[in-house]
Each structure stands twice: as C-alpha cells, then as structure tokens.
Structure 1
Amino acid sequence: MTRLEEMVSHVHKLPAMPVVAMEVLQSMSGADTDIDALAKRIAQDQAIAARVLRVANSPFYGLQSRVGSIHDAIVVLGLSSVRSLVLAAAVITGLPGGRCPEFSQSRFWRHVLGVAAAARALARPLRRPPEPLFVAGLLHDIGRLAMMTIYPEELCGVLADAQTRDCTLVEAEFRHFGFDHSTVGAELARRWNFPAEIIDALAWHHDPARGVPGGLAGIVHYADAIAHALDLDGAETGQVPRLDAQTVDALDLGWEALNGVLTETRAGFDSFETLLG
C-alpha cells in the first residue's frame, strides 16, 4: 500500500461532508432544482442559515431592505449566490480545524475565502459562471485539512519545515509525504462525488498545465496568487506563488480588468469573512 493509499484508507477519520453541503453540490448538476424545498432544507440548519443571512445583508450586496429568510435571499440574490454562501458556511462549520501550534485555522479559512472571492471576481472578465469558480476556490485546499486530521504530527512537521527552509508548503509536503494536499483533496472529492470540474481544479491548481485545458485549475491557480498578493490571510511569512506562464497567457487579463478583479476580490472577501464567526 502506498502512502497515499494509506492516507485515503483513513478517510473514515474525517467527519462526513455536511448533508446540506452535499445537497447544494448536487443541485449544481444542472437538473431542475426545487427552490422552495432547498430553501427549507437550508433553513433547518440554523447555524448555517444565520451565517448566510449575515453575508446577504452585508454592504457587499447593497440591498435596500434587510433579508430575513433563506427563501428571500434566493429571490433577491439569486440561487447561485446563495448556494455558494451555503456551501462556504457548511464547509467552515462542518470540517475539522488544525491541531498543532503551527497551523492557524483562522488564517487557513481566511486564505480559502480569499481564493474563493478572487475566483468569483475573475468570472466577469473571463465571461464564466461565477458559482463553479467560487466553489473550486473554496475547496481547493481541503486536502490539507484532511492531512491535518489524519496525520497531525507529521503535518505540523511540514509546516515547521516550510518555515525553517523558507520554502512553499507544497514543497515541504512533497518532501515529507511524497505527494501534496492537491492529490489528497482530489481523491477526497472523488469519494464525495464532487463534480468532475471541481475534482480537476483541486488536483491541478498548483500545476494547471496538467489540468483540463480551459478548466478551473488555471483560474484557481491565478486566484490563489491574488489572495496571497493581497495578504488576505494576514500571514507574516506568506509567499506569493509563482504563476504558470501559460495560464497567465491563456487568461489574458489586461491591467484594467485585473485592477477591477483586485477591487472586487477585496470587497467580496470583506463580506465573506463574516462567515467565520
């Protein structure tokens, strides 16, 4: 059994993906969605519903009147926006955090939400639907949470090693495990029956040339760099990852478009950050 197979065999140690998150993902498949039933199901989870409504009523959306229910949020913001927020709230509240001094759960989720905000902001200039981009950004580092839960002591060593050697976490993960969190995240996504485009993004966001051409991996790769450049996680030792040149050329964002993305990312992050507490 390889080390990766060993890790995946311990997936039972992870909490199940929240049911409402799985229902939201399934509703993205393109099949007709019963909005009333979905809104009722979301509202039954009061913790998630409260977080979603807090974001819906934030200045980012600029609503004239206060939204008081999930159903009203869907009517005003649209199903796509609400599904994205529900998935974010469900993942944040339902998945485990770190168990070592080197791992900051707050910084982890701030970075994840920053990448999700950046990916969503890229949707407009790239003329792509925003929902899959937001979801891919939100879930892109889920493999690292799995590694933390299954092998906490070793991942603590990875984090310390990255700081000591002043290298990226991906490099340190490969040195210790022989694979990185992208591989683990993609394998988990397969087991949880995530959409194929999300699996591909999780697998290749650090190496987008190996992903599906024109897929989400390159967009998440670019969004990851934006989140680091804006220092959204507040990490003192953060590094901006090196961008894949082919991805930059393929996205072909001019300075005006990029400035708009940076502004929208910052505003979106400030709103989504309220999901954390």
Structure 2
Amino acid sequence: MDNDDSIADRLSSEGQKSPLSDFLLIERINQCPKLASLKSINDTLNDLLDSDDSFVAQIAEVIRLDPSLTTRVLDLVNSIFFGSKDEKRITGVEEASIFLGLNRIRELIAATPIIEEIMELGKNSQSFPWTDFWRHSIGSAILTREILSLTDQKFEDEADYVAGLLHNLGKLILAITFPDLFEEIYQKTNDKIEDFLAMEKQIVGWDHSKIGAYYLWNHHISDEIVEAIHWHNEPAKSENHRQLAGAIQVADFITRKIGVNGLERCTTPANQDYLDLEGWQILFGDREEAEREIIEENLNSTIERISPTLRGIL
C-alpha cells in the first residue's frame, strides 16, 4: 500500500485532514466477514408461514428449535400486550404466536439471525452503542414495511423489512474498519442529520449509506436492497428503487422523530414533518388530498404502537 493511503499521512501541509482513498476504503471493507443469514433466513419456518395448511402449533414447534427466536417472541408479546405488569405473562410459544400474528412472526424471523450475526461481526467494537443502533434499525424496518403497505408496491421476499433493518449498517462497518474516525464523527453534536452525512464524506470520503451499500453489494445482496440503502438519504437519485429508498427515508425520519435517534447526537427539529420529505413526495405526492389524509391517519396509528414494539424486541 502506498504511504499516501495510510491514516497517519492524511494531513495536508495546511494541517487539514483529507478523506481516505477509495482504495483503502474498499480494501478495509472487503476484509469484513460475510453475513450468512442475509441469504438464508429460516427456510423451514418461512415455508410454514406461506402454507395454507399451517397450524399455529406447527409454527410454534419450529420456533422452539431456535432459542433466540423463542426469547424474542415471548419478550415481544409480553411487552406489547402486558407492558410492565408482572401479574400476567405469556410463557408459551404457541400462545405468543396467536397474540402476535403471522406478520409479526415473519418480521422476527427476518430480524433475529441478522441481529445475531451483526452482533458477532462487531463483537470487538466495545464502545459501539448497540441498543441505540438496534432500536432505531428495527423501528425503521417496521415503519418501512408499514409505509410501503400503503402503496401499490408489494414485496414477497422480506426485502422491504431487511432494507429498513440494514439501512445504517454502514455505520457499524465504519466502526469496525476505522474505529478512530467513527468516534471522531459520532462523538460530535450537530443540529441536523445532514451535518453527519457531510462529516462522513469530509473525514472518511464515503458516507455510511455508500459504505453499507458497497458491503452488501460485495456480498451479492439483491440490487433493490443495495440501491435503496445507498440512496435512502437522497431517494430521488435512485434509478430503479425510488419507492423503497423513499420509504426508508421516511421511516428513518419518523423513528428519530419519536425519540429513537440511533447513533447521531442531534434532535429532529419540531417544525420538520415527514410530509415535507423527498421520500414522501415520491411515494404519495401524486395522491388526491382525501386519499393522503387516510394514508396519514393509518401511518399515525402505526407510529403510536411502535414504542412498545421496540421495547419488546430488544
């Protein structure tokens, strides 16, 4: 490697740091292990969920084979339906599956193996704020799916949920590959989320969206997920998957709006609204006013129930 590519040599004659070279970024990202679960998510259970002949007992039996999934199912249903009350707790997987419904079970199937593998991937990043990262990621995943359910676009392969779940994966990859730069960026406080994107580009050379998209592309993840994650902060630039990118942008914004900020030390200004976002205009800008009001009402209902869901899934 050329000396020009080392981090120690990133100071110009004026004392200002220059961004990393593409060569160094690609080299480091390529060294990150692959996430096997991105390509194989509990095929047996998904087959059961898709079958017209499935019974809750069968589904529960398969869930019991996965201790991590069992724990998340029980934690989620107790949090959502019973909150902090100790006098009533569900302890059986079959009963929990009835309470949650197949859609929420399917989301847990998608999330659990990915969460565990990403935790393993970043196990040496001791200072990484995992709880903040996952609450924001899972909240964004749930909302991405809910937002897209209000459109004409449907996803049969969990791509909408997985894209929402992984939209900030580039931040973890940055923490693994360049921990000092990660700390430099995310220990700061800014007024706007856009300030962090600008800092990433200025200090690293790529922002977290591009880092995450490249990592996923390098491991042969579907183009729709890669492109949507790449452009989730600027969805109009997506050539083929603007709706998915736009839904992630709106979901990300709303998740921060309700107080689940993720890693950035900034607050979403109270006078900002998701209706003003580029992603919202891509998704619903051409709808009639009456239809938009119904969409907003449905989405606001989802927002009201997202907090207990997040408490249960972590």
Give the TM-score, by structure 2 length.
0.68
Matching residue of 2:214 = 187
Asked if 1 retains the 8 angstrom alpha-carbon contact of 2:197 and 2:207, the reply is yes
Amino acid aligned to 1:23? S
Matching residue of 2:116 = 93
Cα offsets for 1:202-227 (capped at 9, x unmatched): 11101111212543111111111111
Asked if 2 retains the 8 angstrom alpha-carbon contact of 1:53 and 1:68, the reply is yes
What is the rounded CA distance, in whole Å, between the counterparts of 1:266 and 1:18 in structure 2? 34
Of 102, 112, 122, 2:147 maps to 122
Asked if 1 retains the 8 angstrom alpha-carbon contact of 2:170 and 2:208, the reply is yes
Could you tell me which runs of 5 or more consecutive residues in structure 1 were left unpaired when the two chains were aligned. none
Cα offsets for 1:89-112 (capped at 9, x unmatched): 2233332358475x5322221211
Matching residue of 1:73 = 97
What is the rounded CA distance, in whole Å, between the counterparts of 1:189 and 1:74 in structure 2? 35
Matching residue of 1:262 = 300
What is the rounded CA distance, in whole Å, between the counterparts of 1:95 and 1:110 in structure 2? 14
Amino acid aligned to 2:232? H
Q: In terms of mean alpha carbon deviation, does 66-75 or 267-276 score higher? A: 66-75
Matching residue of 2:35 = 17
Alignment of 1:1-277 (within 5 A): 2-12=23-33, 16-17=34-35, 19=37, 22-24=39-41, 43-56=64-77, 58-59=79-80, 68-69=92-93, 73=97, 77-78=101-102, 80-96=103-119, 99=125, 103-129=128-154, 131-160=158-187, 162-163=188-189, 168-211=195-238, 212-233=240-261, 237-239=266-268, 246-252=278-284, 254-276=292-314
Cα offsets for 1:2-59 (capped at 9, x unmatched): 23312222213xxx4254x5422879999x9788999776543312332134324553
Could you tell me which runs of 5 or more consecutive residues in structure 2 were left unpaired when the two chains were aligned. 1-21, 83-88, 286-291
What is the rounded CA distance, in whole Å, between the counterparts of 2:94 and 2:217 in structure 1? 29
Asked if 2 retains the 8 angstrom alpha-carbon contact of 1:24 and 1:83, the reply is no
Q: In terms of mean alpha carbon deviation, does 223-232 or 38-47 score higher? A: 38-47
What is the rounded CA distance, in whole Å, between the counterparts of 1:29 and 1:203 in structure 2? 28
Quickly say closer, same or farther: Cα 1:242–1:66, change in 2 above 3 A.
closer
Amino acid aligned to 1:264? T
What is the rounded CA distance, in whole Å, between the counterparts of 2:265 and 2:229 in structure 1? 25
Asked if 2 retains the 8 angstrom alpha-carbon contact of 1:208 and 1:217, the reply is yes
Asked if 1 retains the 8 angstrom alpha-carbon contact of 2:235 and 2:279, the reply is yes
Give the TM-score, by structure 1 length.
0.76
Higher relative contact order (CA 8 A, sep 6+): 1
Identify, as 1 or 2, the structure richer in helix: 1
Higher gyration radius (CA): 2
Asked if 2 retains the 8 angstrom alpha-carbon contact of 1:116 and 1:135, the reply is yes
Alignment root-mean-square deviation, CA:
3.9
Report the alpha carbon displacement of residue 126 of structure 1 after superposing the two structures with TM: 1.8
Amino acid aligned to 1:200? E
